[in-house]
Structure 1
Amino acid sequence: MFTLFSLVLAATAVAQTISPSVLHAKRSHLPAGWSRVRRHTPDAVLPLRFGLVQPNVGMSTLEELLNDVSHPESPNYGMHWTPARVADHFAPSDEAVDAVTAWLADSGLGKERLRVSRNKGWVMVNATVAETESLLHTEYHVYVHELSGKEHIASEAYNLPAHIVPHVEIIVPSIDFNAVVPKRSSPTSTHITLGQPGAGTVSPKLGAVVTNILDDLENCHNQTTPNCLRALYGLEYSPLAASRNSFGIVEYTPQAYLPSDLDLFATNFTSLFGQSLVGARPNIQSIDGGVVQTVSESFDFNGESNLDLQYAMNLVTGHQPVTLYQVGDLQMGASFNNLLDGLDASYCTFEGGDDATQDGIYPDRLPGGYLGNDCGIFKPAGVISTSYGYNEADLSPAYAARQCAEYAKLGLMGVTVLYSSGDNGVAGNGALCLTSNDKDSAQGQIFNPGFPSTCPFVTSVGATQVNPGASVTEPESACEQVIFSGGGFSNYFAMPSYQQGAVTEYLSANPPPYASTVYNSTGKSRAYPDVSANGANYVVAVNGQFGLVFGTSASAPVVGAILTMVNDARLAIGKRPIGFINPAIYSPAFKGAFHDITAGSNPGCGTKGFSTATGYDPVTGLGTLNFPVLVAEWLLLP
């Protein structure tokens, strides 16, 4: 017998099953180099994956959550989340899982064929092409890459029932071309080439060869050494809680340090109080087959890693171990998303997973490739410094937003994430600027901001210099030797609340003399960098000799070392790490904790760029770090 209630339930179920089909995704164009050659075989099997919508990832929501544990006036300051809490909070709802599985079962695929991933991010089923085409009201074709001959299966568009649309983020395979083509493009390409020479927006620049090391404070305007940095920023501190603390440096294969160069540097520069670091090595965490390769040796392959590790290890002293996150195998390479996958299991499938046009896709089926898929098996260090970057415009807004959300999740877990701001002022990679159609060009005249520095959930690090003939007791200026400090305003991300006072004050007192067609002049976008450190004339051992190195590549690990020592001081008295620092450093309590930089600019795109000013500026941020004041302020916080 049917009751009224059962009839209503049955009617509701039928209504959902037969809800109208609507377009969910359509490809606007076929990627260059690919041709459609034939309709796919009806009885071929597709490994269908439905990426479910994950809630609570809007930028405003993320900022609110992060401020709750990061703002010094919050009652929950320092109460960082566990990885399990992060994963649970950002997991798709049971409603999404139930709706998608019910629809697939009602469509004839059968519940026994369905699998749901452990983090509820994916519903998976093996279905024939015929079943899939009927399910999604589409057609699948075989495409061939003209140069490599690689085949790829995709559709032009697909549809979903209206009641399923709110629950599905992405379907694989469908319209996206996530086929990995084993081909390296130009040196300025961002396609899985972060570690390749010339890739990315940040790479150190080599100056003169050093034959006579001048390791005294009177010569810091000629040669920057660890003693110069300790004097500039007051870093006279020996770790007390090293076993509970951690500092991570990120490198992307084929970038690699040379052990002999670490020892050459350590022979000439002892750590604090004369401690020798000869024989000291970083603790290597190999992500997706990351390897410290020894096949290619030159400044292009060894300069970045040598620079980062020599100064990071020296400044935190031999008492504090340094972790090296070496990312990507030699065949595939890697990007920031591969690093993030390794640190947080909840990210591996987050909003559809990685993008093969930018990221390494593992297991790597190329000859000799890494056959694993490292997902959430590495513990994030308390401070993580990365001296690599992209142009914001080279990435889609969706790709950048997905990654930016992950930096917020790391901040919730108490991790401080640092990125170099770039070495070309207001220009991007290769000193290129944007044209009116958002393309990189030598003829471009539009400012070209860098990413991840424009993500509001990282701390972006610019570059300063000791002026020629000046001493370490005199104010630094923005770096204008060999490189210019990257800085400006995002075209993707809104201004976070922690910046509003400082950036609005800068724009009001120092209105940039450029039209709105030259940069994002709305006054409502994320400004960068946040802080700075010296980026000129670093004495670095590379391939058996010393040279002078320039770049925000040098600035980031120095800031990382200083913040690692702040963490040590807090841990030593039973307090938690500082985590995401931006809400704190922009707050009134930290106003005197930085050396204000008021000289210099960051030219590019045929302009003088932005100018430094009293207080915040989009050249050097809040200024350089004053360690004694910073550590005192952070020790006062809960």
Structure 2
Amino acid sequence: MQPSFRFLFALLCIVPLAVLSLPAQNGLYEVKEHAHPPHGWIQHSVPPADHTISLRIGLPQPNFNILETHLYEVSDPGHHRYGQHLSKEEVEELVAPHPESLQAVNEWLASHGIQEDEITRSPAKDWITLTIPIGMAEKMLDTKYHVWKNLKTGDDIVRTTSYSLPIGLHEHVDVIQPTTMFAQFKPFRSTIVKSNEEPSSVINDALGSITNPATGLTVDASCNQTITISCLNQLYNAVGYKQSSTSKNSIGVTGYVGEYANLADLQQFYAEQRPDARGSSFRFISVNGGLNDQSKPGFEANLDVQFALGISYPILATFYSTAGTPPFKPDVITPTNTNEPYSDWLDSVINQVDIPLTISTSYGDDEQTVPESFARRVCSGFAQLGARGVSVVFSSGDFGVGDGNPDPATQTCFTNDGNNQTKFIPVFPATCPFVTSVGATQNISPEVAVSRFFSGGGFSNYFLRPAYQKRAVPGYLDTLEHGTYQGLFNRNGRGVPDIAAQGDRFRIIVGGQPAMIGGTSAAAPALAGFIALLNEVRLRQGRPPLGFLNPFIYSIGSSGFTDILSGHNSGCGTPGFNVTKGWDPVTGLGTPNFGRLKNLV
């Protein structure tokens, strides 16, 4: 345990704790959380009382502020504790609930006949999971569940718009889900299908070369039509870097909603773009019953694995397959987990002793469809990973400032608070201040924000602007004309994205055939591959991994990124935000220059 950690924890132990009242088990109930269903969801039917549901109960983490202090200290290159990451046990001590909260929730569960052997607790005991019939959940939460249908996708889920708890229990419970959450975790990608945009059959420099005016680097002209590993190495100044791997380095890629990484496709991709990696693969880990169906290669999973691993080879790689959110089927009465899958993945990975040092995720959803209480608890999980030395990378979304409708002209962008106000729609988990969010660029001379789809970006309505953005973001806001988009975004919110990378016309292999794909879901794994290489630089010098990246990125690391100066991110019937000099909510601080960054780290 680090000296300052011991001091803070000892100090905490001697400070008198507030006396917490235990709930009267038969006391009055009061609404704990209420939500309006998002646009496009309609109440459809009533689920059978014996349909089972897996409830997750989040208990308060009274010492999270201390964990956050540690996170920023060990992630700040200007702090004397930089790189002194916490252990799994130290993090668990800091997120553990107060014993009185444990007692209060235990008594409440026992009053409904739920025994200890019927529940599962997280290692820190801050989460409790139990699988019970809908009828019992309705009694415990003084609510009524319904089957809700999404008019756009046809998906059915079991949700309620309000739940209650005994008054005395409110202070001992942060959140219970699935209750009011209507989110639909989805990949951020846009697949090219036009015949005139078929992938090139030959990858070479036959078209000559182009010089990027911003960096002076020479790049194959063919990279304007097709992005390969070679293109990214050239564009981001990684040509000639001799890669190796220490036994301590690692990279992870997450897969959700039935996206499976295909081994045969990976080998074909390696043969074409990374011949020295042929024969290598990834470690597969199933989360919550996630499958490894090699008969169903996924565009998203293949994209993420092929580029993240292709750039970072030979660094040890892991692919996580997390079971998604299955639709409600009234004729099959089996336990059904309808939580957002990233929370299941977080539960699993936080419980591991050895976690990949860089993790890329190319999925997310509209922030407003995730209840704020749940978003904050999930975000605290990412903080735990950062405190342990893990760099967590998320794509920023593909629909500009809009609501997920790919046609900016028809986006509605209404709030879900019952007021139907028009507002920009930020994306979660990219808005979590403890992850690094990645926007997308295209072209070589010059490199600009993507134009065929729009790099997600904007400002969180849940999370305030973190300290590491206190200089960069206000500078952008000062460039906006007075009154521009007044009321459409939160000027005090966490700005997204942090950085960017190429995100269009990536050549991948799917089902044995080449394909072209684009989206911020391409930018995130590509960027993660370079972050893994930067960790390799540090580890080979006997230094700890980078961990939570943002304090570095917004300080000494900012000179390692190339500013993008052109583009915008349309949405909600507007042109969205413009790309400007310095940080902007389209491309962040810009794209990486690996040659500079490896000297800075």
TM-score between both structures, scaled by the size of structure 2: 0.77
Corresponding residue for residue 342 of structure 2: 336
State how far apart, in whole Å, the 1-side matches of 2:398 and 2:310 are: 24
Corresponding residue for residue 210 of structure 1: 199
State how far apart, in whole Å, the 1-side matches of 2:541 and 2:278 are: 31
State how far apart, in whole Å, the 2-side matches of 1:115 and 1:303 are: 37
Matched, 1:410 2:380: no
Residues 329 and 621 of structure 1: is their aligned pair in 2 closer, same or farther, counting only changes over 3 Å? closer
SS in structure 1 of the partner of residue 198 of structure 2: strand
Corresponding residue for residue 254 of structure 1: 258
Contact 1:534 1:555 in 2 (8 A): yes
Q: Paired residue for 2:456, among 480, 483, 486?
A: 486
State how far apart, in whole Å, the 1-side matches of 2:54 and 2:536 are: 48
Q: Paired residue for 1:604, among 571, 576, 579?
A: 571
Corresponding residue for residue 595 of structure 2: 628
State how far apart, in whole Å, the 1-side matches of 2:68 and 2:500 are: 23
- Aligned AA (2:450): C
- Aligned AA (1:70): S
Superposed CA deviations along residues 351-399 of structure 1, whole A, max 9, x for unmatched, are xxxxxxxxxxxxxxxxxxxxxxxxx257421000011111112211112
Q: Paired residue for 2:397, among 418, 422, 429?
A: 422
Please report the RMSD computed on the Cα atoms of aligned residues, expressed in angstroms. 4.3
Matched, 1:220 2:223: yes
Structure 1 residues 123-142: aligned runs within 5 Å: none
Contact 2:473 2:495 in 1 (8 A): yes
Corresponding residue for residue 277 of structure 2: 277
Q: Once the 2 structures are TM-superposed, how far is the Cα of residue 244 of structure 1 from its aligned partner?
A: 1.0
Matched, 1:504 2:474: yes
The number of aligned residues is 537
SS in structure 2 of the partner of residue 426 of structure 1: coil
State how far apart, in whole Å, the 1-side matches of 2:115 and 2:516 are: 64
Residues 512 and 314 of structure 1: is their aligned pair in 2 closer, same or farther, counting only changes over 3 Å? farther
Corresponding residue for residue 81 of structure 2: 76
Superposed CA deviations along residues 561-580 of structure 1, whole A, max 9, x for unmatched, are 11101101111111100000
Q: Once the 2 structures are TM-superposed, how far is the Cα of residue 511 of structure 1 from its aligned partner?
A: 3.9
State how far apart, in whole Å, the 1-side matches of 2:137 and 2:259 are: 43
Gaps of 5+ in 2: 1-18, 38-42, 206-219, 327-335
State how far apart, in whole Å, the 2-side matches of 1:168 and 1:448 are: 28
- Aligned AA (2:242): S
Q: Once the 2 structures are TM-superposed, how far is the Cα of residue 93 of structure 1 from its aligned partner?
A: 1.6
- Aligned AA (1:585): I
Q: Once the 2 structures are TM-superposed, how far is the Cα of residue 413 of structure 1 from its aligned partner?
A: 0.7
- Aligned AA (1:447): F
Q: Paired residue for 1:311, among 307, 314, 326?
A: 307
Q: Paired residue for 1:438, among 416, 424, 430?
A: 416
State how far apart, in whole Å, the 1-side matches of 2:115 and 2:470 are: 51
Residues 76 and 21 of structure 1: is their aligned pair in 2 closer, same or farther, counting only changes over 3 Å? same
Superposed CA deviations along residues 60-105 of structure 1, whole A, max 9, x for unmatched, are x664332111111222111111111111111112343456668999
SS in structure 2 of the partner of residue 389 of structure 1: strand
TM-score between both structures, scaled by the size of structure 1: 0.73
- Aligned AA (1:438): N
SS in structure 2 of the partner of residue 242 of structure 1: coil
Contact 2:25 2:166 in 1 (8 A): no
Superposed CA deviations along residues 318-352 of structure 1, whole A, max 9, x for unmatched, are x22221111117966862112111101xxxxxxxx
Residues 570 and 206 of structure 1: is their aligned pair in 2 closer, same or farther, counting only changes over 3 Å? farther
Q: Once the 2 structures are TM-superposed, how far is the Cα of residue 508 of structure 1 from its aligned partner?
A: 1.0
Q: Once the 2 structures are TM-superposed, how far is the Cα of residue 615 of structure 1 from its aligned partner?
A: 1.1
State how far apart, in whole Å, the 2-side matches of 1:286 and 1:113 are: 24
Q: Once the 2 structures are TM-superposed, how far is the Cα of residue 210 of structure 1 from its aligned partner?
A: 2.2
Q: Once the 2 structures are TM-superposed, how far is the Cα of residue 435 of structure 1 from its aligned partner?
A: 4.1
Corresponding residue for residue 326 of structure 1: 321
Structure 1 residues 252-401: aligned runs within 5 Å: 252-270=256-274, 275-296=275-296, 302-317=298-313, 319-328=314-323, 335-344=341-350, 376-377=351-352, 379-401=354-376
Contact 1:202 1:389 in 2 (8 A): no
- Aligned AA (1:306): N
Matched, 1:89 2:84: no
Structure number, greater radius of gyration: 1
SS in structure 2 of the partner of residue 243 of structure 1: coil
Gaps of 5+ in 1: 1-12, 41-45, 179-188, 345-375
- Aligned AA (2:286): S
Corresponding residue for residue 456 of structure 1: 433
